């Protein structure tokens, strides 16, 4: 195993372990800490969000791929969060979030390198993910702190996934895509 992969795997394991410890510590210092903690934990505990983030990192590894679709996703994630805070609701948000997992998986599995189309698709996904996740917590949390945590860990997961993806063969990334698409199909059945 190469050194870069070992470091990235260690970083991701540490991130997951610290999130798990924070989730069970019982030492929340009021709304500020709870909102930030909730935002930091969500990308690691929400399967829909985690799977799309992992796909974003892996997708960027393909054939000299770009992180531009990931940047578009992150920008629209914040925009969708802002819409939720402003009280603007998107239709069928949960269905679109589940469908985004299916679509993201298929995009990775099918190995298509259409960056503009991918940016548009991941942008739409980000908008609905931001809407859904902020709507879930807006009444109970400080939205700006939740969004800060959500954004920070989302960036970290994409970066870690990208580093792991560099070490994977194309066929392994495709298998990950099909597995993600299957998870998305199951989520759609439950949506």
Note the pLDDT tens digit of each residue in 104-132. 999 999 876 688 888 999 999 999 999 99
Q: Taken in order 16, 27, 152, 99, is the CA torsion positive or negative? A: positive
The answer to whether 149 and 37 are in contact (CB under 8 A) is yes
pLDDT at 75: 97
Distance of CA 128 to the CA centre of its chain: 12
Q: Quick one: tokens of 114?
A: 């259409």
| Res 70: pLDDT | 94
Which are the contacts of 188, defined by CB distance < 8 A and separation ≥ 6?
A: 95, 98, 99, 102
Report pLDDT for 136: 74
CB-neighbour burial class of residue 30 (10 A; exposed 0-12, middle 13-18, buried 19+): exposed
Strand residues in the chain grouped as ranges (E): none
Task: Choose the weakest-confidence range: 34-38, 90-94, 95-99, 163-167.
Answer: 34-38
Residues with Cβ within 8 Å of 103's Cβ and at least 6 positions away in sequence, in order, are 121, 125, 181, 184
Count of residues in the chain: 191
Tokens 């994977």 sit at which residue?
168
Task: Output the pTM of the full model.
Answer: 0.80
CB 114 within 8 A of CB 65: no
């Amino acid at each position: 195993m190469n050194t870069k992969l070992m470091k990235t795997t260690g970083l991701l394991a540490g991130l997951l372990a610290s999130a798990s410890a924070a989730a069970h510590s019982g030492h929340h210092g009021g709304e500020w800490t709870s909102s930030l903690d909730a935002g930091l934990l969500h990308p690691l505990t929400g399967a829909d969000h985690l799977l799309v983030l992992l796909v974003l990192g892996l997708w960027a590894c393909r054939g000299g791929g770009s992180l531009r679709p990931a940047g578009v996703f992150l920008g629209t994630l914040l925009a969708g969060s802002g819409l939720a805070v402003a009280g603007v609701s998107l239709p069928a948000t949960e269905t679109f979030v589940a469908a985004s997992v299916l679509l993201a998986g298929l995009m990775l599995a099918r190995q298509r390198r259409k960056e503009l189309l991918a940016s548009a698709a991941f942008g739409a996904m980000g908008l609905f993910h931001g809407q859904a996740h902020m709507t879930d917590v807006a009444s109970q949390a400080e939205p700006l702190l939740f969004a800060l945590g959500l954004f920070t860990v989302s960036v970290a997961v994409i970066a870690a996934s990208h580093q792991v993806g560099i070490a994977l063969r194309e066929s392994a990334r495709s298998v990950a895509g099909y597995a993600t698409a299957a998870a998305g199909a199951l989520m759609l059945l439950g949506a």
